[in-house]
Amino acid sequence: MAITLTVNGQAHSVDVEPETPLLWTIRDTLGLTGTKFGCGIAACGACTVHVNGKAVRSCTMPVSAAAGAAIVTIEGLARAGGLHAVQQAWIDQQVPQCGYCQSGMIMAVTALLGQNPHPDDDQVDAAITNICRCGTFARVRRAIHALARG
Ligand code: FES
Ligand code: FES
């Protein structure tokens, strides 16, 4: 079944079953492999993308639910050759370790800061529930606060 998706500003017609997870459509059909698979049950956040500006765990969203929406993946975050401020903060604060969780982490943080540019620690804890097996949480928090300070 043909479904039209708009990913990183570009429209695509994809021929997939409507119940196919958005994650696999992004990775396998569109070849955008920056979005990662971790758990498949909406628990870890590795697969986080933006759908209409909100952070969504794409492993459990059927692709049909994203038809017509504006989807942004980690590949679409940088604009006109420049890194997004969150990506730059990740470099400045040396956040990543192995890096596997970090595209999802960055997408979750970008969505949070878009809605709340100055989150306190409780708001960070409530919004950023992504799992990092390398334990980068303290650095993630430091980068968020650096961004909030501007
Ligand atoms: S792979 Fe989607 S939340 Fe873990
Ligand atoms: S940096 Fe390795 S899992 Fe998060």
Mean pLDDT of 50-67: 98
pLDDT number for residue 145: 97
User: Are residues 105 and 89 in contact, defined by beta-carbon separation less than 8 angstroms?
Assistant: no
What DSSP letter does each residue of 44-75 carry, written as one string?
S-TTEEEETTEEEETTSSBGGGGTTSEEE-GG
CB-based burial, 23-52: b 16+ in 10 Å, e otherwise: bbbbbebbebebbbbbeeeeebbbbbbbbe
If pLDDT is split at 50, 70 and 90, which confidence band does 1 have?
Answer: confident
* Residues near ligand 2 (Cβ within 6 A): 96-102, 132-134, 136
Per-residue pLDDT at 81 exceeds 80: no
Per-residue pLDDT at 150 exceeds 90: no
pLDDT tens-place string over residues 93-127: 999 999 999 999 999 999 999 999 999 999 999 99
Q: CB neighbours (10 Å) of residue 70?
A: 15
For the full predicted model, state whether its pTM sits above 0.85: yes
Distance from residue 75's CA to the centre of ligand 1 (Å): 18
Mean pLDDT of 54-67: 98
The number of the ligand 1 atom at minimal distance from the alpha carbon of 43 is 3
Taking each helix axis from N to C end, the angle separating 85-92 and 102-115, rounded to the nearest 10 degrees, works out to 120
Q: CB neighbours (10 Å) of residue 147?
A: 22
Nearest CA to ligand 1 atom 3: 42
